[in-house]
Structure 1
């Protein structure tokens, strides 16, 4: 079946080279002198992620405001001795993400002229404002935000609903993402072709081989042909 649609994850895929928000916040925290290793930092980050989803008015926040809100929540959850300058950490995170988006946008614009594009993201209800601020929203025919839809990856419903909205069958679509268990394994199980975006040193889980693997999103154009 000919290719009709390409689905993308958001965080770690459209605005980073296969690294999700937790490790990136940790890198900014360490750069500022933080001493906690990632194993200790990660559960605190995840609690900040849950708190972000409960934040009043989250559905209206754009990308910069979302990053700033999460940085502030994370700072307040850390032990007092480990609290950082939230504005500095948010600024570093935001600048890095915008640089990657600016690099990726021309390729996405070319793909949008050839295929119907969609975003499938476990997000906090404000995916569309974030994409709009990053000047990406117009490129995507469908945006599926788990907080809006009520289903989250790896639940197959969010993939099926997105494909239905795009008018595409699984066999005529690709899924591109950085999270193997949330993006690649469930999409492949539904019959989509899959492209795993991951740093070269990251080992692939066993039991599932993606259709392709890339280290930077612009490499996708070569894969799709």
Structure 2
């Protein structure tokens, strides 16, 4: 029986399964940033490390402000490595991507609200220390009983310890909890390690993802659209799906 849900955030709720590397790369292309994809991928990884290591993001920062910092780090890396991105595009890319996230979260909100009426929800996310601010700004913080954020608790996915904290917040054994996430390596594998059930939101990935039948068979369900969650959870729980208000 399913008694609680553990949600990833970035790439799951805010992009409906698209990796943020892919989202940003598409905007680099849209605005003609003169860089190839391998170099962008290195810049993206550099930016992620910079924000994880350095206290650039403050607890009060909005997601737009996070994107500004992230893209600034990426552009600095590219400039230092011989590329010539126009810094004037930073604010435009950050704004467009922030609005994309806001719209995607708005589409996910009724699904989350419906699920929160049936189960306790806990957020388990690799983030920068400002996730409560972002969730408040996007109007979904009230759906979650607790937010467990890597920058706050000092544990990052794929360490399964961060999901153990999620189980402790739910006060449930692993077999009664379902982990929902977009990353096979950072969400699904650690969840399986501690005995949780899993739903993999497998959208347009950025990282290498196993596609062999054995890896897929251990996932309880695989979806490509966040909106299908109530239906899939009802099937896993042996119940009729509850309607989602829009």
TM-score for both structures, normalised by structure 2: 0.85
The SS at the match of 1:151 is coil
Q: Is the 8 A contact 1:118 1:140 kept in 2?
A: yes
CA displacement at 1:191 relative to structure 2: 1.4
Verify: 1:83 aligned to 2:86, yes or no.
Answer: yes
Q: Which runs of 5+ in 1 are unaligned?
A: none
Q: C-alpha offsets along residues 47-106 of structure 1, whole Å, 9 cap, x if unaligned?
A: 112222314452221222212222222223223423350011011111111111111100
In 2, Cα distance between the equivalents of 1:104 and 1:215? 13
What is aligned with 2:227?
A: 218
What is aligned with 2:60?
A: 60
What is aligned with 1:72?
A: 72
Q: Which runs of 5+ in 2 are unaligned?
A: 235-246
What is aligned with 1:162?
A: 166
Verify: 1:199 aligned to 2:203, yes or no.
Answer: yes
Q: Is the 8 A contact 2:78 2:85 kept in 1?
A: yes
What is aligned with 1:208?
A: 215
TM-score for both structures, normalised by structure 1: 0.92
Q: C-alpha offsets along residues 86-136 of structure 1, whole Å, 9 cap, x if unaligned?
A: 011011111111111111100100000110101111111111111111111
What is aligned with 1:186?
A: 190
CA displacement at 1:27 relative to structure 2: 0.9
What is aligned with 2:12?
A: 13
1:113 to 111, 117, 121: 117
Structure whose CA Rg is larger: 2
In 2, Cα distance between the equivalents of 1:59 and 1:201? 28
What is aligned with 2:243?
A: none
- Aligned residue pairs, count: 224
In 2, Cα distance between the equivalents of 1:167 and 1:63? 30
C-alpha RMSD of the superposition = 1.8
Q: C-alpha offsets along residues 155-205 of structure 1, whole Å, 9 cap, x if unaligned?
A: 111111111111111101111111110001110121111111122799644
1:126 to 117, 130, 137: 130
In 1, Cα distance between the equivalents of 2:204 and 2:76? 34
In 2, Cα distance between the equivalents of 1:98 and 1:56? 22
Q: Is the 8 A contact 2:2 2:177 kept in 1?
A: yes
In 2, Cα distance between the equivalents of 1:156 and 1:172? 17
Q: Relative to 1, partners in 2 of residues 1:143 and 1:201: Cα closer, same or farther, differing over 3 Å?
A: closer
In 2, Cα distance between the equivalents of 1:128 and 1:200? 26
In 1, Cα distance between the equivalents of 2:122 and 2:102? 20
Query: Greater shift after overlay, 53-62 or 195-204?
Result: 195-204
In 2, Cα distance between the equivalents of 1:74 and 1:120? 26
What is aligned with 2:21?
A: 22
